[in-house]
Chain A
Amino acid sequence: KAGVTQTPRYLIKTRGQQVTLSCSPISGHRSVSWYQQTPGQGLQFLFEYFSETQRNKGNFPGRFSGRQFSNSRSEMNVSTLELGDSALYLCASSPGRNVEQFFGPGTRLTVL
């Protein structure tokens, strides 16, 4: 099976702009989670989608949102970008609960 893919891999934006990141899970995986990874904060959970419904949400402001489509592909949107949003955004898919999550390569977002 093909692994988790994310697009784009790199992105440069300026403060105030918005951005949309995309994640395609492994075929058959219905759960998609998003994480923000920064050198100082490690892996921070953003949200998790299962069958087009947001099932869990981390402690991030409302500027961070997401959705999942019927084919399990997921998008994450960040509005009104801030310098502190610069990070590696990872998505992970899994076939169910409490089983291995398979990570994508990530999208590295730089906010200038």
Chain B
Amino acid sequence: GENVEQHPSTLSVQEGDSAVIKCTYSDSASNYFPWYKQELGKRPQLIIDIRSNVGEKKDQRIAVTLNKTAKHFSLHITETQPEDSAVYFCAASDGYGQNFVFGPGTRLSVLP
């Protein structure tokens, strides 16, 4: 089955700096890769997603890149703000159902 690894597990950056979180997956059949943000005590919420036919997607300060050959995808947050502090989860789905496999999460702290 699919296995998703995520690094780093914790990340601290200064406000205004960029943050990068990387994930790798094992199943070459996976074709949908969402990223979720979970603030303390709240539910996970989708922030951006990418499909396997696209190499990069950007939404304001957030971007995701996908390298299908290497089977890894990354989340990039630019000009970080304190409200970006949260746990971020990457996930991979095989396209045959809703069997999302999540990475273990990255706790991002943006220091003022």
A positions within 8 Å CB-CB of B: 31, 33, 35, 41-45, 48, 50, 55-56, 58, 90, 94, 97-98, 100-101, 103-106
Number of A-B contacts defined by CB within 8 Å: 59
Q: How far is the CA of A32 from the CA of B112 in the complex (A)?
A: 39
User: A42-B89, A42-B103, A42-B104 given as contacts; is B98 within 8 A of A94 (CB)?
Assistant: yes
Q: Which residues does chain A contribute within 8 Å of B36, judged by CB atoms?
A: 103
Q: Contact string, B35-57, partner A, CB cutoff 8 A, digits 1/0? A: 01000001111100101000000
Name the one of A33, A45, A56, A106 contacting B43, with C-beta atoms under 8 angstroms: A106
B positions within 8 Å CB-CB of A: 31-32, 34, 36, 42-46, 49, 51, 89, 91, 93, 95-105
User: A98-B31, A98-B32 given as contacts; is B100 within 8 A of A33 (CB)?
Assistant: yes
Q: Which residues does chain A contribute within 8 Å of B45, judged by CB atoms?
A: 103
**Given A42-B89, A56-B99, A104-B43: 18 more A-B contacts, CB < 8 Å:** A31-B98, A42-B103, A43-B44, A43-B91, A43-B102, A44-B102, A45-B101, A48-B97, A50-B98, A55-B97, A56-B97, A94-B98, A97-B97, A98-B31, A98-B95, A103-B36, A103-B45, A105-B43
* Contact B99–A48 (Cβ < 8 Å): yes
Nearest residue (CB) in A for B4 is A42
